[in-house]
Every structure is written in C-alpha cells, then in structure tokens.
Amino acid sequence: MNAGRCLRTLLLLTFHAAQSTAPQNATPTDKQSRASPEKTPAQSAALEALHAGVEQFRNGQYEKAIDNFKDAKRFDPDLLNARLYLGTVYASEYIPGGPSDENRENGELAVAEFRNVLALDAENLAAMDALGSLEFQMAGSPFNRELFLESKSNFQKHISLKPADPEPYYWIGVIDWTLAFRADRELRASHHEPEVGLHSPAAREKYSIEYGETIGEGINSLKKALSLRPDYDDAMLYLNLLYLRKADAADNQSDREALINMGDDLVERVKENKAKGAPQSAQPQPKPRE
C-alpha cells in the first residue's frame, strides 16, 4: 500500500472515530438530536451543516463538504467535530511529496485544524493520531527531521493517555527506523562505503553515538506493539528493518549475523501468519524495504 493510500485509510478511520466522541460533538444522526430545544439556533445550524458535510464527504464532494464544515465551525466554534472533519477533508486531498502550492496548502490547513482541535481538547486521540500521521507524511519530502520528531511526540502523547493501544508504539518504531535509515545512507555516502555491510570503525562510532538510542527506542517500541498485538505483521516487518539498522552498526560480523537472523525469523513469522490467514491490522501502513 503506498503512502498516500495509507494516509487516506487512517483519515477515514479518524473520520469515523470522531463520530463516537462526546455527545456535544456528535454528528446529528436523527431528527430529535437536531431539533433538541436545549440547542441554540446557532448550534442547531452548526449541526445541520456538519451533517450535510459528513454526507458530502462520504460521497466524495470534498469542496461542498469543506464549505459546510467551515459553516459549522463558524456557527459553533466549540463543535470539535467540525474542525476534525475539516482537517480530515484537507488531509485526504494532500498527496505526500506533491510539489504544488495547492497540495502543500492542503497539508498545512489540515495540520492547523488538527492542532486547533488539540488546543481545545488536549486528549482528543483522533486529532492526535491524524496529526501525527500527517506530519509523518509531510516530513518525508522535503526531508524535515524536526517534523518527524513532532510527529513522534503526538504518538508519545497517545501512549501517555492510552498505553494499551499498540498503534502508537508501531508509529514510533516507523519514525525511528525512517530517521536511522536516512542517516545510515548519508553516512555511507560521505564515507564512500557500500550500501550494505559493517561500517568502518569511524563511521560506526559516529552512527552509534548519533542513532544508537533512536534504534534502541524503535526496537523497544515495536516489541511493545507486538506484546499488545502478537499478530501485528507490520510491526514485525519494521522490527526486522530496525534489526538490520542495528546489525550494520555492529562492531563484528558475529553480532551482525545474529541480528540479521533475528530479523529473518520475524519475516518468517509474517509469512506463516499470512499462510494461516491471521487477521491483519485495521490500520494498514506503508512497508518500505531495505
């Protein structure tokens, strides 16, 4: 699954998750909720606009949905779902790595809306996860290390609120691998080393000092994800990739081979799971290869 489709899948999950938030933010699904005498005229208008926007989003009418979500936010600034859905539409229009000004603006508008939700509700997991995923996609092209770290901070916040959820641990592992992999490639190029194999002593020391902790964090995070969801194939694949990062930084061939074998065992487990038809993660993710 490519990165763009991956992001859209997460956003759709975020979109539906938002419908189960607190009652004051819920999407109006029946006439009684929309006609409640406890609502002010502005709140009722906001819910009507939100309801129309939801239907338009589902039907792919994104521009109309944006207009209605903007209206809902204007009528009732406290209606968090209006902001969350507006960010979701902008993010669904964002293409990772797309060079156009319009594409970049869609990403920035989505980020702004998700941050606005978190400013009003610091524990809104839907906004937290959507923001973390979107920042991850935006940080890749052009490469932006600080944005990767900001993305990771959102998943760390999720863990602080719901430590039993495996997905944020997975995302931290993905981000750590991404940073360590890029650094490895840059280091090899600067030292004129082959793309695969043990680093020279000087390069290995530099890599271990700068990224050893990152690799260790990623490995521990993915192990935690697997302890919470033993059949998490995507986590196994990225754990394999991080073992390869650690293997390339090893100071001897024996340790390198042991780490590679550990990674190979994970790949075999994934193959076995697929052969058995084991249930997969509800949140598909990109699977880069080294």
Per-residue pLDDT tens for 211-237? 999 999 999 999 999 999 999 999 999
284: its two tokens: 């598909």
What CATH number is given to the structural domain containing 109?
1.25.40.10
Give a yes or no: residue 282 inside a domain: no
Confidence category of residue 280, pLDDT binned at 50, 70, 90: low
User: Are the C-beta atoms of residues 139 and 151 closer than 8 Å to each other?
Assistant: yes
pTM (2 decimals)? 0.83
Query: In this structure, are 87 and 181 located in the same domain?
Result: no
Query: In this structure, are 113 and 184 located in the same domain?
Result: no
Give a yes or no: residue 247 inside a domain: yes
289: its two tokens: 């290869």
**Alpha helix positions (H), the chain:** 3-18, 31-34, 41-58, 62-75, 80-92, 101-120, 125-140, 145-161, 167-190, 201-228, 233-248, 253-276
Block residue for tokens 């406290």: 78
Query: In this structure, are 185 and 247 located in the same domain?
Result: yes
Domain count within the chain: 2
Confidence category of residue 266, pLDDT binned at 50, 70, 90: very high
Query: In this structure, are 185 and 256 located in the same domain?
Result: yes
| Domain region containing 30 | 3-127
Query: In this structure, are 115 and 191 located in the same domain?
Result: no
Give a yes or no: residue 147 inside a domain: no
Structural domain ending residue among the three candidates 127, 155, 182 = 127
Block residue for tokens 């949905």: 65
Query: In this structure, are 183 and 81 located in the same domain?
Result: no
Confidence category of residue 174, pLDDT binned at 50, 70, 90: very high
